[in-house]
Amino acid sequence: MKKSFFCIFLLSLPLMGCTDSGHEDLEQWMNDSTKDIKGKVEPLPEIKPYNPVVYSVSAAMDPFQPTKIRPETSGAGRPDQNRVPQPLESFSLETLKYIGFMKKDGIPVAIVQAGETLHQVFKDNYMGQNYGQITDITEKEIMLRESVEDAEGTWTTRSVSLYLQDKN
């Protein structure tokens, strides 16, 4: 019994230090420091009423449906798929390099590098994988008209250029 009483006494000693004695001056200072402090909350902004707009145009195009704006085509842009493909049509334009220009009997000729092979190309030759036909050759660029088919099967034409590469 004495042993258990002694253990309880030892365990309660640290709790005796937690009494309120000796802290009155600290509590008085806290009360004096905070007596004039008042919190201020900004008022909420005024909420304006919501006025819904009714979309009542039934004959107009629905703005939430995806649609495609198509240029008027009358079969234009469809390439001749019965002709024999030319050698540079097996390369994409990104892999072809325009490296030289010359005139042969007054006709402009472009020198194009495909891999390790050099090719001479003239106006109306084809190159690239999108049925690109050469429309003009200058000292700085080869201009082509490509025919591309979209997901819906519509053929359109677009103009692209292959520029003369620097010797770097």
pLDDT value for 152? 77
SS3 66: coil
Q: How confident is the model at residue 168 (pLDDT cuts 50, 70, 90)?
A: low
Section 107-117 average pLDDT: 93
What does the alpha-carbon distance between residue 136 and residue 87 come to, in Å, rounded to a whole number? Answer: 19
The residue behind tokens 């050469």 is: 134
Residue 51 CA to its chain's centroid (Å): 35
pLDDT value for 113? 93
Section 83-97 average pLDDT: 92
Ramachandran region, residue 136 (left: φ > 0; alpha: ψ -120 to 50; beta: rest): beta
Q: Which tokens in the block code for residue 29?
A: 């200072």
